[in-house]
Structure 1
């Protein structure tokens, strides 16, 4: 018998009582609630049906819930891997750290996501220059505890950010800096149109053998023109030359500068730190990996790879045949040896500090030539101590085979890929088939090489030849792990200063220092079934297709990469055509900004328009526009109690709260778009201030586009209009003087 799972603990009596308590509120004309009343009989009938329904719902097993979620296209999230930014120090010579370089924080292993080039370079000075002032920000950048504006608070075109290094960069040198902004996280949203445009330059030798500011070749800008934190990589095109920037008494230094070419930031960039030799690490421990190459079909083909496992681990090379199976090739010392015929290759190893390894194939006479194809050659790198662990068992050829991988604590389904060996030929040599992980076998056919893997239990299962194929029988172990990656969970969200220990002794010999200045972020445990159900319920409330005005507002507020303050949707309205535009929708967008009247840039509006274009109805014409700000100034003569003659600032504060263009803390709501400012609203706001007796006289002034004053003195706003307070003038009169 299945255990009772109480989804709803209400009994029959509770349901009846709740329903009867709602009668006076919903149907006040219903006065007879005795048992003989037919309405009460219906209440009891539906209460009984509800109790029976929740009884059966409480017996839905977990497997059925997962099936229901699968029908909705929802699966529980796996454990996510934390990330952390690490800054390397004590760099005396240029060093190339390969992808997968491992650092350890207590018992958590982190790896570099990409190759990292470290240069013996330090930032000596940072200077910001605007039209009004020039400021040295070196101390703020070094400590990282006081943010500074990259281009000043106004962020006007022509403002500059200067960065000085302690040594020059030669022509052709590549440099990466990490810019950490105070206002936010990294934005990985695609399709974001920058609100402003910057350019990067260095002071160096020009074509006329003189010295001037020369452009840098921008390779990568993960900041979207300093709109978010991220990495910027550029190449120096001409040799750098020293110059004095600020102050005048300073010595010449090697400078690069960021010029604000086109203004338009909604939020001017504030920088916490500009960092050199900084890399992004992810909490994972790769024990085995694969790198895929295309076969050229030509003699003496070479394939090169550089990663930590490529430098310090074991190497296997496989080539795919025409039938789709992979054959293992052998490594030989050289092609002149006696055993250099057939499927062999030679490994050319570079110095471990300089690069990875190169695999060279034969020319068809000494050593075979891999065939031409897409992705038909691969290298498999694995750690030295993983050689035995990669063999996880053998197939007995029976359906529903299951294995428990006790020695492989893999937390993510994509962290495990396996191969199945199939005996071939008289000698029984194994050729390898790739198998793919799936969540279940419901959609698998008899020929699909699928398996399921549960990271929580470590159980790996195969099909039954109807739902999923059965691995081929073998006398020896033929189930081999090709890709294995550990790591994941909230323990990866480490504290600052912990990620400073190298895992491999060979890399410890580089004498480099490492430190994470901030917390790790993004690590989370696998989602439980209950959490997944709640997420699925919440997702169904999030609109994807814009149909109603509420849909448009919700979708715009969630535009990736943007910070939106307010949205106003006007149906059947188009700029220039007014309310007669059938099928048109105008969306007024207010960005987050420093002042009360932030104006969205052209890039901001384009980003919102692109986001809506994928979600609008095909027949709908969408316009995204900026708000029309209307400055409202109140002139009032107010009679107050004698002891409140010096409290005029309270009235001004009340008017500022009433005429606020944005929602503010304390329950202050922004003035509705397009709503007429009635004098009665102002009278009411002033009258509610403590100490006010009455308003003797009142008139309103307005400045803005398309605003008009009615005969009664009210201010009528356009549909896209939003008010903000001007310099209110309040004259106070003591009631004792009247």
Structure 2
């Protein structure tokens, strides 16, 4: 039996329901729609026949499904590796860990994504200070599930965040602090990984910070707060989570900062120079000595280098496999083929030659930071040609058992099985095929992995890797080239990466073991303060079909009002709570909708905030505008504007039952729930943009309350820009207007006192 493809996903019950809904329109005289009616029986009969026909039409093989998806540009998602932030502590001496340093979380291997320099340094105290209070939040920072406000709830100008270290930082010493912020619309317990890379250049910060340290000022001859050099700020003034790297310009001095005033310390300070945060930044954790780690086990890696072609060329490789593994060197010839060069211990005893041999040497350093590959002077040994012609293949010693795949027999559609390599990712392998020359040496060519051979030409060096079957497939000579025939093994792996899948999503503090004995001897402690996340298995075809349907409905171009609103809510780096698109409107248009601005759209955005009337900053508006400008029609001009808040105050005299005469505050709360700009809990919506406040709305809200007999008297006052009051006492709002509650005055009169 062929597998089922739901070309029409309607069920029998849905077909019957759709047919019954057409009865009033097509046959209005048909009034008896009960099950005993013969017409209903015929509808059910034909629905059954339709469902049966749809079932047989939908019998399409998986191969065709993949072709349909390919026409849409959609491929099943590959397996992905979990990622986590790891932190190092108990550092007794400076040390540099190369990229790819291997760590263990029980049976899961993790590798660091970048090199990191560790020095003996720790955060001693953390203090927040506003104009009203100062708090020592050091203990809070030690518990990542408790967030604290970096600059208080108001984050006003001159608010400060102080960080002290356990020793003096020397001048020009670079320090990197990892700041993990709590997102505006996330709870403290949510630990998520952003799979999409945020373009930080498209984000305009809402506030501006300055960083200073207490240092010795040589010019003034005294100590004081002096600016530090911010080398990199991924947080964009504490807008996003990320790293801040800085270095000092002068020697530090100790100073006492309240409330950590029991002793002087070495302090740096972040000060709010320009306020404007929509949601004041809340810090989950400040950490030193952190780096991202990915769940994978790289057995072999390929690194290409560009060389100048000069004598005595040196290449420095700062990766774990280069430092602790085997190194092979390939050099590319003019014809594009790669050839292995031979490693020797030294060039000193080599004789001069008109045709110098292809040698290189490897210098390993005691610091375990990097290794150096050296080439000769062109006389005792050859010099690589200039350009990107040198390739370093660094691998685990055990990889020699796996890197030889087999030899080609020169026939079409060859396949080779990887018996001992459980590579879950389609991109986990890099492959070369060799062709033997008359002198017995091989020249090697890179082959490229593709998903299918449909677009491959006869000369394309392509192959397919199936992670489920662990098979490598080659072309048939018409679609994809055939590897050249060889009597010896000529199909080898140059790159290989294991790992991926949901098992890498480990719990906090499980990434705690070193793999290499040299790293264990350093006695440095390592752990992951938060969950590893992002690991997933390869997508099945059924899941891919469901994702395709979802992606086809996904909004990626701004055409309709709903498009603008959807895209504005999804703006990276801007926590948008509510949004409203006003077509044919521009700021300053007074008599809208009688007067219209052709080709223009105004988008009103409301940010998340702690106040009753959260207002976006200029940077916030600019960030949303950049998002929409990349998606709008070229003939449309977009304005991103803040809302106009209208303060509405209700004055009412309400007659109630005698037992409710003391519950006026309950009616006030009822009005506050009605007249609010933001959405509430349990799906309740805030006031609609630009909707007038009618007396009937207030009458209805008050009359629904328990104990209310009737509303005897009612009048409404409003304050705000461009607000009008009708002759009947209703409040007319501008198109971008939103209401919020003032001090409502509700007078309750007992029914028995009338």
TM-score band, normalised by shorter chain: over 0.9
Give the Cα–Cα distance (whole angstroms) in 2 for the partners of residues 382 and 172 of structure 1. 36
The aligned residue for residue 679 of structure 1 is 695
- The offset of 1:20, in angstroms, is 4.9
- The offset of 1:214, in angstroms, is 2.4
Deviation string, structure 1 residues 76-112 (Cα, Å, up to 9, x no partner) = 1111111112221110111111111111111100111
The aligned residue for residue 379 of structure 2 is 365
The aligned residue for residue 390 of structure 1 is 403
- Helix, strand or coil for the counterpart of 2:264? coil
The aligned residue for residue 195 of structure 1 is 206
Structure 1 residues 655 and 364, CA gap change in structure 2 (3 angstroms) = same
8 Å CA contact 2:19, 2:43 repeated in 1: no
The aligned residue for residue 77 of structure 2 is 77
Query: Is structure 2 residue 28 aligned with structure 1 residue 29?
Result: yes
The aligned residue for residue 598 of structure 2 is 582
Give the Cα–Cα distance (whole angstroms) in 2 for the partners of residues 19 and 248 of structure 1. 71
The aligned residue for residue 442 of structure 1 is 454
- Helix, strand or coil for the counterpart of 1:414? coil
Structure 1 residues 25 and 665, CA gap change in structure 2 (3 angstroms) = farther
Give the Cα–Cα distance (whole angstroms) in 2 for the partners of residues 500 and 81 of structure 1. 18
Which residue of the other structure, out of 654, 659, 681, is the alignment partner of 1:638?
654
| 42-51 or 292-301, larger mean C-alpha shift | 42-51
8 Å CA contact 2:429, 2:496 repeated in 1: yes
The number of residues matched between the two structures is 733
Structure 1 residues 636 and 234, CA gap change in structure 2 (3 angstroms) = same
Which residue of the other structure, out of 595, 603, 607, is the alignment partner of 2:619?
603
The aligned residue for residue 444 of structure 2 is 432
Give the Cα–Cα distance (whole angstroms) in 2 for the partners of residues 130 and 601 of structure 1. 21
Give the Cα–Cα distance (whole angstroms) in 2 for the partners of residues 204 and 36 of structure 1. 92
- Helix, strand or coil for the counterpart of 2:424? coil
8 Å CA contact 1:437, 1:450 repeated in 2: yes
- Helix, strand or coil for the counterpart of 1:162? strand
Within 5 Å, give how 1:512-527 maps onto structure 2. 512-527=524-539
Within 5 Å, give how 1:158-237 maps onto structure 2. 158-183=158-183, 188-190=197-199, 191-208=202-219, 209-237=221-249
- The offset of 1:210, in angstroms, is 3.0
- The offset of 1:211, in angstroms, is 2.1
- The offset of 1:18, in angstroms, is 4.2
- The offset of 1:7, in angstroms, is 7.4
Within 5 Å, give how 1:244-283 maps onto structure 2. 244-247=256-259, 249-283=261-295
Structure 1 residues 360 and 692, CA gap change in structure 2 (3 angstroms) = same
Give the Cα–Cα distance (whole angstroms) in 1 for the partners of residues 15 and 456 of structure 2. 48
Give the Cα–Cα distance (whole angstroms) in 1 for the partners of residues 378 and 15 of structure 2. 87
- Helix, strand or coil for the counterpart of 1:336? coil
Deviation string, structure 1 residues 173-227 (Cα, Å, up to 9, x no partner) = 1111111223366764111221212222222133414322222222222222212
Query: Is structure 2 residue 749 aligned with structure 1 residue 703?
Result: no
Give the Cα–Cα distance (whole angstroms) in 2 for the partners of residues 246 and 43 of structure 1. 80
Q: Could you list the runs of 5+ residues in structure 1 that have no partner in the other structure?
A: none
8 Å CA contact 1:549, 1:571 repeated in 2: yes
The aligned residue for residue 465 of structure 1 is 477
- Helix, strand or coil for the counterpart of 1:143? coil
Structure 1 residues 404 and 193, CA gap change in structure 2 (3 angstroms) = same
Which residue of the other structure, out of 493, 497, 511, is the alignment partner of 2:505?
493
The aligned residue for residue 363 of structure 2 is 348
Query: Is structure 2 residue 534 aligned with structure 1 residue 535?
Result: no
Give the Cα–Cα distance (whole angstroms) in 2 for the partners of residues 39 and 735 of structure 1. 56
Give the Cα–Cα distance (whole angstroms) in 2 for the partners of residues 217 and 624 of structure 1. 34
Over the residues paired in the alignment, what is the CA RMSD in angstroms?
A: 2.4
Give the Cα–Cα distance (whole angstroms) in 2 for the partners of residues 451 and 542 of structure 1. 33
Structure 1 residues 284 and 611, CA gap change in structure 2 (3 angstroms) = same
Name the TM-score, length of structure 2 as normaliser.
Answer: 0.93
Give the Cα–Cα distance (whole angstroms) in 1 for the partners of residues 716 and 269 of structure 2. 49
8 Å CA contact 1:23, 1:30 repeated in 2: no
Give the Cα–Cα distance (whole angstroms) in 2 for the partners of residues 249 and 389 of structure 1. 62
Structure 1 residues 305 and 641, CA gap change in structure 2 (3 angstroms) = same
Name the TM-score, length of structure 1 as normaliser.
Answer: 0.95
Q: Could you list the runs of 5+ residues in structure 2 that have no partner in the other structure?
A: 187-191
Give the Cα–Cα distance (whole angstroms) in 2 for the partners of residues 14 and 542 of structure 1. 28
Structure 1 residues 121 and 641, CA gap change in structure 2 (3 angstroms) = same
